[in-house]
Amino acid sequence: MNAGLIFFIITLLSSLVCLTIAITKAVKLVKIPHNNIVWKSEIRNQIIFVSLFAILFMGMSISLYYWHNINAIPLDMFQGILGGLLFPLSFGAGLICFIIHYYRKKIPEKLDKWLYRIMIIGIVCTLVFLFVWSNGYADYISYPLPNGFWFNVGLTYPGPYEGQHIAFYAFFILGGAVLVYFLCDHRYYQEYGKHGILESLFLVAFPAGIIGARAGYCIGNWEKDFAGKDWWAVFDLRTGGLTIIAGALVGIIVGVLWFLWRKKQYNIWLAVDIIVPSILIAQAVGRWGNFFNVEVHGFPVNEEYFSWLPKIIFNNLHYSSAHYMGGSLTPLVGQVYVPLFLIESMTNMIGYFVLAFVFGKLFRNYTELGDLAFGYLIWYGLTRVAMEPLRDTSFNMGNDGYWSWFWSIIFVVVGVLLICLNHIIRYAIRVKNNTQKYSVNYKKSSLIWLTSILLISVSMIVIGSVFMSTSPVTQTLAFTKYTDGLIILFMGIALVLSISIPITYLIGESKHDKLCQEKEI
């Protein structure tokens, strides 16, 4: 047996043992009574086991070069060794700090602050050094990367297949859902001091979302993929085909209904504001399944535009599951496919932090309960409005490619409309109950501002209508005069709807001033 392989197995197993011990100790530390903890000793033990995990993982990384007889250039070997040390160190430290910080009830305040800081730094450094580590091996492995495990042949690559298999795409979808569950569970723990409130909701809403995603794909692509086939083909998930927009919509609806039925003692509006925006994180993680499947990408562009990406991503961008030559995947020479999976993944992560922290905390005084959930429809809708025309036409849904794009626009408009209705209805209830506080005084400047927004929105509606009426509908989805006009038209309508919120308060302020004047008379 190859000496490098033996060393690889030994270091891999030993590193996993050290990580398991560190996690076990952290979990036990969560349950130990406060008076029985010697924090210096416990933290020292965690540092020892996490450090051993990192050192052994680095040894495993070195053994990979010898096992496969890789004659790596010095820079690649340096990245493999450095990343092989700092990636597991960041991951282990971040994970242990997460467990202790979020699940231990009584922690010295100074220590708790450091645990939080190390956790955040650990998460960021884990992602950075993961790609540094992968750069050390990226040029010495075959592409495209494996996208699943088939029980009859082992690891396999994108393309036609037969037999039972486990796709990496499924792991990313499930992993994103589990990550979101723990995130929401922690948010509920902060609110109610109890874990496990959302367990039944997760077990109902997640499968419902998968069913909705499959149903949406089958409806949108019926003529293209299912017409003329046996009816049970719609249940054959092995061939792929999920629509995230439909999955999110069905999952949200079923989740809300289940919550109203089984969790009546908890505020449904707080629930949707916590859970719905976090779906963006699940979608960001799930999109990496498209990376391994080399699918749902954009058009080919010169490779120099994306040469700055980590090598393992860049090298895989040369392949597409939609373009076969001679029955196999053939790489593009000098070009790559635009990585829409990466762009959407990053956009979704940014969207979550904008909704959860900017509007959820920084601007919370200016939002109503439910706004964050409706904001998800706007953010994700806008993301897909921008992404859909950039897709390779092989991955567009429907015969003309407009299916997902059209529903994305509906998401935006409905999201804006729901936020407006949410504010107006709550405002009306406060006025009816005599609890409305007139904290904002709308003067002439407010009228000028609202008039300007109205003029802009009307102009957008007119321009969009002219563009659509003077340009023919294209057969496939792309940024054309017609589609640009449709976007401008709907954005104009959304702007008109959005100003209904300040107009409502303006009318209320005017009525309030009038009543005060009548009382004085």
Distance, CA of 315 to CA of 144 (rounded, Å)? 8
pLDDT at 488: 84
Tell me the residue ranges of DSSP E strands in 187-292. Answer: none
Measured in whole angstroms, the distance separating CA 287 from the mean position of its chain's CA atoms is: 8
pLDDT at 441: 47
pLDDT at 280: 94
Residue with tokens 């036990």: 28
pLDDT at 217: 76
CB 461 within 8 Å of CB 496: yes
pTM comes to: 0.85
CA angle 200, 191, 273 (to 5 degrees): 70
Distance, CA of 355 to CA of 283 (rounded, Å)? 15
Cβ neighbourhood burial of 11 (10 Å; 0-12, 13-18, 19+): buried
pLDDT at 23: 93
3-class DSSP state of 150 = strand
Question: What are the pLDDT tens digits along the chain (521 aa)?
Answer: 578 888 889 999 999 999 999 999 998 888 777 666 788 888 999 999 999 999 999 999 999 998 888 888 999 999 999 999 999 999 999 999 988 888 887 788 888 899 989 999 999 999 999 999 999 999 999 888 888 877 767 777 776 655 667 788 888 999 999 999 988 988 888 888 787 888 888 888 888 988 888 887 777 766 666 666 665 666 666 666 777 888 888 888 888 888 888 887 888 899 999 999 999 999 999 999 999 988 888 889 999 999 999 999 999 999 988 876 556 678 888 899 999 999 999 999 999 999 999 998 888 888 889 999 999 999 999 898 888 888 887 777 766 667 788 888 888 888 988 988 888 888 778 777 766 554 444 455 567 767 777 888 888 888 888 888 888 876 667 777 778 888 888 888 888 877 777 777 676 666 555 555 555 55
Distance, CA of 359 to CA of 368 (rounded, Å)? 10
pLDDT at 469: 80
3-class DSSP state of 120 = helix
pLDDT at 162: 59
Q: How far is CA 210 from CA 203, 219, 248, 258, 335, in A?
A: 12, 14, 9, 16, 34
Measured in whole angstroms, the distance separating CA 437 from the mean position of its chain's CA atoms is: 37
pLDDT at 444: 58
SS3 content of the chain, % helix, strand, coil (to 5): 75, 5, 25
DSSP secondary structure letters along 173-213:
HHHHHHHHHHHHHHHHHHHHS-S-TTHHHHHHHHHHHHHHH
Distance, CA of 258 to CA of 205 (rounded, Å)? 8
pLDDT at 238: 62
pLDDT at 516: 55
Q: How far apart are the first and last CA of the chain?
A: 101
CB 404 within 8 Å of CB 243: yes
